[in-house]
Amino acid sequence: MAHKITSFLIAETSRARKGKEAPSTPPTKSAPHYFEKSVPAQHILGTEKVKIGLPAGRGEREVDLLVKTYHPDAILVEGTVEVESVFADGIFDLKEKLLEECFRVAKKKGAREEPSEEYTVYQISGYQGHPELFLKTHGQKIATLLKSEKVELDDQEVEHTLSSYQFKYAKDDLIIVDWDGAFVFDPDGEVGEAIEMFELGNYQLLRYRILDEDLDERMKRASKLSLAESEKWFRTKEVTQAFRELIKIRSQSVIQFESMERDIKLIGDWYSARLFYLLAKKFRLDEWRKSVQDKLDSLEDVYGIVSENLGFSRMQVLELVQIGAFFILQVGWFILIILEFFYFTR
């Protein structure tokens, strides 16, 4: 029986190098012939060797961290280590050390500290029989690892964790999904396809978080623009530029998210699509999408109001200028009349 842990971190970067396109994991379950073209491509930047301490003082093990990117603005660092048992007492600390190394390498490659997403996949293979037997004997440990908790969980919480987001495809496999991690039981150890879906789900969640935070900052800027009454006349150009950026963000978000969802839908009701939909439900991607869409609409309304106010202020200034010019013209005509009067009466 083989036990492995795969931890990965996805973080934002200003500009991800494209690198060599990583070959898509060949599907081991039934999949349409266009599967590889339907999944967003990863690009390999290279590997870095690190040493990770094993549980129970069993020494250190050298681990290859694979550095990849989702072009153009996300970096992914992934590491896998084989362990004697994923149910050992020191597994939680091992996972934390592995994620720390992933984060260190990601920062060295230009990743920002926040926002980022980290995830751990616990894999068990080479067993015989039904994987549900592991849930009966190690249910408490599985639930605490999935939730990254060190405290002993209540029995009801354990039952909820193990049963709420299960995915069973073949008779002898099982996947349990949670927010911080997943357990994958596969007798043949063919888990590459599942890990790629986990990475894709976290990448989409990261994209929503990045856009959500960006919209919050733009909303603050719009609020400052609306309050700057004394500077409204000089803010027209700034608002115009903000409008252009908003249109660009909306178009980019539509292109990115719609294309990703379209490509996933192309996979249909096959193994990968069903697993991705389970992840999307757990990560609440639909709620994130709605939140981002609402903020885009609200920001557009705010900029519209600010623009109207600036336009109204500009009209007021122009009217004052027109009135002043007319007054100066009248004064000039009056002075001219007086001069002509003195000229003819002299």
Backbone angles phi, psi at 46, to 5 degrees: 150, -170
* 180 plus 216 within the same structural domain: no
* 268 plus 317 within the same structural domain: yes
Per the CB < 8 A criterion, the answer to whether 260 and 285 are in contact is no
Q: Which domain range does residue 131 map to?
A: 2-191
Using alpha carbons, select from 183, 175, 185 the residue that is nearest to residue 276: 175
Summarize pLDDT for 99-157 with one digit per residue, the tens.
999 999 999 888 888 889 999 999 999 999 899 999 999 999 999 999 988 888 899 99
* 149 plus 50 within the same structural domain: yes
* 47 plus 150 within the same structural domain: yes
Per the CB < 8 A criterion, the answer to whether 180 and 119 are in contact is yes
Summarize pLDDT for 323-336 with one digit per residue, the tens.
666 667 666 676 77
Summarize pLDDT for 165-217 with one digit per residue, the tens.
999 988 899 999 999 999 999 999 889 889 988 998 999 899 888 888 877 87
User: Rounded distance, CA 46 to CA 321, Å?
Assistant: 65
Cβ neighbours of residue 274 under 8 Å, at least 6 residues apart?
167, 169
* 317 plus 233 within the same structural domain: yes
* 206 plus 187 within the same structural domain: no
Per the CB < 8 A criterion, the answer to whether 267 and 213 are in contact is no
* 187 plus 217 within the same structural domain: no
Using alpha carbons, select from 143, 161, 179, 142 the residue that is nearest to residue 285: 179
